[in-house]
Amino acid sequence: MADIFREVDEDLRRESAERIWQKYGTYIVAAALLVIVATAAWVGWREWRESQLQADGARFAQALQSAEAGNVDPATATLDALAASGVASYPLLAELQLAAVQAEQGDTAAAVAVYRRIADDDSVRAPYKDLAVVLLALHGFETEDPQALIERLQPLTASSPLRFSAIELTALLHHRAGDDAKALESLSVLRDESAELPMPMRDRVDRLYRIFGGATQTTVAG
């Protein structure tokens, strides 16, 4: 008797499965295909992106070599292309390098415009944004409002990989604004941490401190 009930139950489940397949089979196949296609697309995109990163890296290195060799036009053309269609961080790196080429060619205003745009872009990650702020202060030193540049640099003077450069530029901008007392305050911060400074910066800071009216300090040997 139990075997009969089991057979009936199996027949009912089989009929139910057939009805479900007849009604929803097309959608089940479509969903399965969608998963397969999506997986293949993801793998393909990842492989393409990896190859694209390698290609962009090679193009960026080539542009740097061309710029260093004085071949400005091909370097600029490659960097323009990377800025327009590169992947990952290469568009931003290309823009920064283009600005560096412009500055070297004497077009400081164009370089400053690039640095300002990057510095004002909240979508740019901190390392690049901080670098743009420092480069803006450096290349805009003679043309930009010194107090505005000091305010841009202020967050970097507390904690940033570019902290020492930001403090040094802040001191120079205070001097340009005619406030040597504040310039000395900034330089004092660097002198207090002189053991952490690269030797060229350590010597430069000590000289600036004396030029701006500070007491003589013996430079720490490194």
> What does each C-alpha distance from 211 to 141, 142, 181 come to in angstroms?
19, 19, 12
Domain contains 47: yes
User: Per the domain annotation, does 156 fall within a domain?
Assistant: no
pLDDT digits (tens, 9 = 90+) for 58-88: 888 898 888 888 899 999 999 999 899 888 8
Q: Is residue 19 part of a domain?
A: no
Number of structural domains the chain divides into: 1
Which residue range(s) make up the domain with 68?
29-101
- pLDDT per residue as tens digits for the range 169-198: 999 999 999 999 999 999 999 999 989 988
Q: Is 134 inside a domain boundary? A: no
Within a domain: residue 74?
A: yes
CB of 183 within 8 A of CB of 174? yes
> Is the pTM here over 0.95, yes or no?
no
Q: Write the pLDDT tens digit of every residue in 44-53.
A: 556 656 788 8
Q: Where are the alpha helices (DSSP H) in the chain?
A: 2-68, 72-85, 90-104, 108-119, 126-139, 146-158, 163-176, 180-192, 199-211
Instruction: Please choose, from the candidates 173, 118, 167, the residue with its C-alpha nearest in 3D space to the C-alpha of residue 145.
Output: 173
The answer as to whether 14 is a domain residue is: no
* Within-domain flag for 148: no
CA atoms within 13 A on the CB side of 9: 6
Q: Is residue 58 part of a domain?
A: yes
Show the tokens assigned to 199.
């030797």
- Count Cα atoms within 13 angstroms, Cβ side, for 151: 6
